[in-house]
Amino acid sequence: MSLLAPLMLAFAILLPILVLFYLLKVRRQEYVVGSTYLWQDLLRDIAAHEPWQRFHWSVLLILQLVLVGLLVFALARPFYIAQAQETLHAVIVLDGSASMQAADVEPSRFEAAKAAAKATIRDLADESPGTVILALDQPQVLAPSTTDHQALERAIDGAQPSHAPVDMAQALSLATSLGSGAGGSGGSAGARVRVHLYSDGAFGDLGTFLSGGQGEGADVRLVQIGAEGDNVGITALSARPDPQNTTRFQVFARVRSYGAAPVRTTLSIVVDGTLAESRDVLLDADGAQEFIFSDLPLGGRGVEARLAATDRFELDNVAYTTLDVGRASEILLVSDGNLFLEKLLSLLPTGEVSRVAPRRYFSIEQERYDIVVFDGFMPEVWPRGNVLIFNPPESALLTLQGEVRRPRIQGWEREDPILKFVDFRDVAIARTQRIDPPGWARVLVQGEEAPLLLAGERDGHRVIIVPFDLRQSNLPLSAAFPILMANMLGYLEPAGQASLRDLRPGDDVLLAPLPQTEELVVRMPGGTSRTFQTEGRPITFSETKVPGLYAVAQRAAGQTLVEEPFAIDASNELESDIRPRAVALGDGRTLQAALPTALVPVNREFWMWLIIPVLGLLTLEWFWFHRRS
């Protein structure tokens, strides 16, 4: 045993001071009395005229001496040397990738990882801080640095895996950066960081982690999760129009085996809940097979591929996609008569075109149109749909600053999708309006004195402005005109949900309502629904963690205007390969496996053990004093 603060023993001077208090005589006041017969003993004490009295042992004195001695001893911080685990900042990293849902260990790899992580927390030294990180596409800190080990275990209990790959390099970069010089809330400042990674290793390489230099010298220990890796799954599913008949669709599927033995199973294609076709699948060891399904029912929308396989990883036995059966856009042309626009709009396959004269514009139901084309006319209020404007007059919506005659084209944004494959070198314009560009618009074609084409988004709706009259230019006679019109209408056409491709779990989906839509109802896998009031603006839908077929219904006045599906698909070759494997660090090295924490000599203070006897002595002193009283 030794002392961390031996100088505190100087407070032992309190012991003789306490004894001196017992040696001092009591000072008494003098009073005149009629007889001293009863006060003989007191008179003898006063007659001595000495400040000290003879020492008498007392139980109270002994109790107080012991109490002061214990307090002085505690101030000196006594300790003994013991063999214990090193104080470390333990950073727990749980692999939340889809492959961690494999059930080759009971009840699943992820649950086994959580149990192992909690065991590591329980083995930590009492003063060791810990942090819990869940590795996803973006790592999440479930519990910041704390020495409250129960809080760490609660954070681990609440962790859930995802249905998608993870960015393990980013998670490890975050983990190794924690604890540098600070222990956080209740942490131990300066404690060495050790990262415990609980994973099956099926997350690809650690390129950015290693290339960024974070891996150099980092203490990262791998706790390998998983027992076996035999699996067969759907690793790809997509759909496209049939090249021979654009009214029909083809579905492509790839099935792959990850195992040492041949596999025989069945692949089924289900369209809108009805079985469309089945094929036998015969796979060699660690082999793959591809299929094309062409005999699909007309008008089908949602496609589900099912694999009749029984294995330890069920997530990749089902995959989803949609058939791009789009709804034709409703286009309204507001013009007094423009042969170029009318002819070209009728030839383009973008949608159904209706024409109305400007004087009748306010007498029709404008909200039912997806795209409104204004030619030489502008209302005082923006329509709810996307807008294409030619030769705008002065209005409250646009500020004009006169005309420019024979403007020369200085340049155009060749990389913008609206101007893709469009060449303006031979375009000549007789005159154009000089427009003050609104803050929401970007200039795509720039003239010497005024912009000649603008585009942008205003309150969630897309607008394109062509400030000159087509009939005052040779643009309609050039090869660029049909290409430009197709690009502009493609930009303005509302995005249907069925046109969204390659959506993965967790991706955000932009729901673009029709102009007349009042609310969007999203039906999710499992039957639950979410309703959104549109107010004429697109809505970002983020609840896409579960793979499956989703349906978006656009409603107005209690009626469903249109319903479109979109698919969230989790098929991925990397995740389907659930074979546990080492984590490569480059140069032939692999991530070190976790080892038991080494025991090191540590100082164990025991002054806190003196609290109970001190409290006991105080209680006994109180009892003895009042017993005498």
Confidence of residue 307 (pLDDT cuts 50, 70, 90): very high
Q: Give the number of other CB atoms < 10 A from CB of residue 324.
A: 15
> Taking residues 339-355, what's their average pLDDT?
83
Q: Which two tokens stand for residue 428?
A: 């000549």
Q: Is the pLDDT of residue 385 over 70?
A: yes
Residue-averaged pLDDT of the chain: 82
Confidence of residue 316 (pLDDT cuts 50, 70, 90): very high
Q: Give the number of other CB atoms < 10 A from CB of residue 142.
A: 18
**Residue partners of 254: CB distance under 8 A and separation at least 6:** 234, 235, 236, 237, 288, 289, 290, 291
Q: Which two tokens stand for residue 521?
A: 């109802």
What share of the chain in percent tops pLDDT 90? 35
Q: What proportions of the chain, in percent to the nearest 5, are helix, strand and coil?
A: 25, 35, 40
- The angle formed by the CA atoms of residues 46, 51 and 56, to the nearest 5 degrees, is 95
Express each pLDDT in 548-578 by its tens digit.
999 999 898 888 988 888 999 998 888 898 8
386-390/371-375 β-pairing: parallel
Q: How deeply is 207 buried, as exposed, middle or buried, from its count of CB atoms within 10 A (0-12, 13-18, 19+)? A: exposed
| Single-letter residue type at 593 | A
Q: Which H or E element spans position 387?
A: strand 386-390
Query: How far apart, in whole angstroms, are the C-alpha atoms of residue 433 and residue 470?
Result: 12
- The angle formed by the CA atoms of residues 90, 93 and 95, to the nearest 5 degrees, is 160
Q: Is the pLDDT of residue 159 over 90?
A: yes
Query: How far apart, in whole angstroms, are the C-alpha atoms of residue 436 and residue 319?
Result: 51
DSSP per-residue string spanning 167-191: -HHHHHHHHHHTTSS---TT--TTP
Strand partners, 135: 95
Q: Is the pLDDT of residue 397 over 70?
A: yes
> Taking residues 362-376, what's their average pLDDT?
88
Query: How far apart, in whole angstroms, are the C-alpha atoms of residue 481 and residue 497?
Result: 29
CB 249 within 8 A of CB 326: no
Query: How far apart, in whole angstroms, are the C-alpha atoms of residue 142 and residue 440?
Result: 40
Q: Give the number of other CB atoms < 10 A from CB of residue 462.
A: 20
Q: Give the number of other CB atoms < 10 A from CB of residue 249.
A: 23
Query: How far apart, in whole angstroms, are the C-alpha atoms of residue 492 and residue 489?
Result: 5
CB 591 within 8 A of CB 220: yes
Out of 321-330, 370-379, 474-483, 573-582, pick the least confident.
Answer: 321-330
CB 70 within 8 A of CB 620: no
pLDDT of residue 207: 60
Instruction: State the residue for tokens 């159904």.
Output: 352
pLDDT of residue 2: 77
Query: How far apart, in whole angstroms, are the C-alpha atoms of residue 492 and residue 245?
Result: 27
Q: Is the pLDDT of residue 40 over 60?
A: yes
371-375/245-258 β-pairing: unpaired
pLDDT of residue 535: 74
Out of 315-319, 375-379, 517-521, 596-600, pick the least confident.
Answer: 596-600
Q: Give the number of other CB atoms < 10 A from CB of residue 350.
A: 19
Out of 185-189, 255-259, 470-474, pick the least confident.
Answer: 185-189
Crossing angle between the packed helical segments 149-157 and 109-123, to the nearest 10 degrees: 180
Instruction: State the residue for tokens 């540590």.
Output: 602
Out of 9-13, 139-143, 241-245, 486-490, pick the least confident.
Answer: 241-245
CB 95 within 8 A of CB 172: no
Q: Which two tokens stand for residue 209?
A: 């982690």
DSSP per-residue string spanning 509-522: EEE---TT--EEEE
What are φ and ψ of residue 412, in 5° steps?
-145, 160
Q: ω before 241 within 30° of 0 (cis)?
A: no
Out of 16-30, 78-92, 374-388, 391-405, pick the least confident.
Answer: 16-30
Residue of 52 and 354 predicted with greater confidence: 354
DSSP per-residue string spanning 235-254: EEEEEEEETTEEEEEEEEEE
Highest mean predicted confidence (pLDDT) among 52-61, 269-278, 615-624: 269-278
Q: Which two tokens stand for residue 309?
A: 């396989």
Query: How far apart, in whole angstroms, are the C-alpha atoms of residue 52 and residue 45?
Result: 11
Q: How far apart are the first and last CA of the chain?
A: 41
| Single-letter residue type at 344 | L
CB 238 within 8 A of CB 324: no
- The angle formed by the CA atoms of residues 439, 345 and 417, to the nearest 5 degrees, is 45
Confidence of residue 479 (pLDDT cuts 50, 70, 90): confident
Express each pLDDT in 89-99 by its tens digit.
899 999 999 99
Q: Is the pLDDT of residue 268 over 90?
A: yes
Confidence of residue 137 (pLDDT cuts 50, 70, 90): confident
Q: Is the pLDDT of residue 188 over 50?
A: no
> Taking residues 370-389, what's their average pLDDT?
90
